Amino acid sequence: MKQRTKLIGIVIILIILLAGAFILYQNLSKNYTAEETAEETSSNESTEKQETVTAPDFTAENAKGKSVSFFSLTGKKPIVLNFWASWCPPCKQEMPGFEAMYKKYSDKVDFVMVNMTDGARETKKKASDFIKKQGYTFPVYYDTEQEAAYNYQAESLPTTYFVSRDGDIVSGARGAMAESTLESEIKKLIKE
């Protein structure tokens, strides 16, 4: 009987610890912004010439179900490439900022919003319903084969890359990006 009581006590303590960890994670993820990450990975002026990295190609589906190559989008304007999912709280947090920047800069910068469509946790229907419900107007692409996620090592969401007109990655950030940071990175991208 004592062992059973002891076991129940241990289980209760573990449940409390897990619940506390979950609450702590939720609070920290809401407060995390990618300002530091974006600053660390952005191309700063320095005495050494930085090596350029060409953005990898991938194929994703547009809203009409047509396959689109990322390379077909390059060469015209700089690109803001964002990986997101409708179930991701930090993604939802930054979406209004992306919409505002899309409305403000879409004449100078292309926005490629890549939904991580795995077919289970995220489907095209879930993602498109979310976009429609929120009233977002930026172009959405569906990574149904996870090719884009693999090529860009988008292991955590959201992940954002800033790609020059020439198709080179200028900077990138993991985590929710504050609208002011997003705008700052876009302004740098336009000057490239």
Q: Does position 158 have pLDDT exceeding 70, yes or no?
A: yes
Q: In degrees, to the nearest 5, what angle opens at C-alpha 189 toward C-alphas 183 and 190?
A: 90
Integer-rounded Cα Rg, in Å, for the chain is 20
pLDDT at 106: 96
140-150 tens-digit pLDDT: 999 999 999 99
User: What's the CA gap between 91 and 136, in Å, rounded?
Assistant: 13
Q: What is the mean pLDDT of residues 40-51?
A: 46
Provide the whole-model pTM.
0.74
Q: Residue 190 has which token pair?
A: 């336009």
More confident residue, 33 or 15: 15
Q: How confident is the model at residue 24 (pLDDT cuts 50, 70, 90)?
A: low
Q: How confident is the model at residue 16 (pLDDT cuts 50, 70, 90)?
A: confident
Q: In degrees, to the nearest 5, what angle opens at C-alpha 158 toward C-alphas 124 and 63?
A: 25
Q: Does position 29 have pLDDT exceeding 60, yes or no?
A: no
Strand-by-strand arrangement of the 140-142 sheet: 53-54, 168-174, 159-163, 79-84, 110-115, 140-142, 59-61, 67-69
Mean of per-residue pLDDT scores for the chain: 86
Q: Does position 66 have pLDDT exceeding 90, yes or no?
A: yes
**Phi, psi (rounded to 5 degrees) for 115:** -85, 130
Q: Does position 25 have pLDDT exceeding 90, yes or no?
A: no
Q: How confident is the model at residue 192 (pLDDT cuts 50, 70, 90)?
A: confident
